[in-house]
């Protein structure tokens, strides 16, 4: 492979959108209202559209005749490099919104920096995606405020979700060796520089939503290195079912 680190770096970006898109797709037909149900499904489709751009580029770099579908569907669990946050299940609507919000704030800041990449393909993808992700961030932020500042029940459910998901946020700013190499070459984003403003922005919105900022300083990581929670295996069994059951199937 011509540029193994660039390939790994792209997977680290794209797998977040792939897995989160799959999680949101599971909500189709299960939203609290028709409008919200459609909005979640559209966000899922946005994320899958972004994944296609990334995986098409990754397939080109790999140069081994694999297609975007092969990269998306035919890897094993340990070969996925998404953060643990995005693979967490849809426990209830508050969890889905909390997960989306905590990722969206990071994703928007990340894409703003990726637009400055010296890799013109990644820069162009980021420039295209940021318009969609800015909407995602507004949508999830509004729902966090709506639930947090709603009834006693909705506030408690939103608080429970934030408390449970908080432990996965620090991994967003962990750097793999591929990340460090790409940053040194001017291609990648130094995510460590996004951390302070991320927690500041998240905390301000949680306060506005009458939610408590979790005090826990204990965080989980491992997803970027391919070490996942038990949830990913079940998600992949659904995601990959058709491709693995009917290999090389064409529509």
pLDDT in tens, 49-90: 999 999 999 999 988 888 999 999 999 999 999 999 999 999
Cα separation, 109 vs 12, whole angstroms: 16
Cα separation, 17 vs 109, whole angstroms: 15
Q: Categorize the per-residue pLDDT at 251 as very low, low, confident or very high, splitting at 50, 70 and 90.
A: low
Higher pLDDT, 247 or 183: 183
Q: Categorize the per-residue pLDDT at 125 as very low, low, confident or very high, splitting at 50, 70 and 90.
A: very high
Whether the pLDDT of residue 247 is over 90: the answer is no
Q: What predicted TM-score, i.e. pTM, was given to this entire model?
A: 0.94
């Amino acid at each position: 492979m011509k540029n193994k680190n660039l390939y790994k770096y792209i997977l680290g970006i794209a797998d977040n959108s792939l897995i989160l898109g799959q999680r949101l797709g599971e909500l189709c037909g299960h939203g609290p209202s028709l409008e919200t149900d459609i909005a979640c499904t559209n966000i899922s489709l946005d994320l899958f559209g972004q994944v296609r751009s990334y995986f098409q580029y990754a397939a080109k770099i790999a140069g081994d005749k694999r297609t975007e579908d092969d990269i998306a569907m035919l890897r094993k669990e340990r070969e996925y490099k998404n953060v643990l946050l995005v693979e967490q299940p849809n426990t209830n609507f508050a969890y889905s919104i909390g997960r989306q919000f905590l990722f969206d704030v990071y994703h928007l800041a990340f894409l703003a920096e990726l637009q400055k990449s010296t890799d013109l393909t990644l820069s162009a993808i980021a420039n295209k995606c940021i318009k969609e992700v800015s909407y995602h961030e507004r949508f999830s932020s509004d729902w966090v405020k709506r639930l947090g500042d709603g009834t006693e029940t909705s506030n408690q459910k939103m608080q429970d979700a934030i408390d449970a998901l908080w432990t996965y946020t620090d991994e967003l700013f962990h750097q793999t060796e591929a990340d460090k190499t790409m940053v040194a070459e001017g291609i990648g984003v130094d995510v460590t520089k996004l951390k302070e403003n991320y927690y500041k922005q998240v905390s301000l919105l949680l306060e506005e939503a009458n939610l408590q900022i979790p005090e826990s300083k204990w965080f989980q990581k491992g997803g970027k290195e391919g070490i996942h929670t038990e949830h990913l295996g079940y998600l992949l069994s659904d995601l990959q079912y058709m491709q693995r059951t009917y290999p090389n199937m064409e529509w």
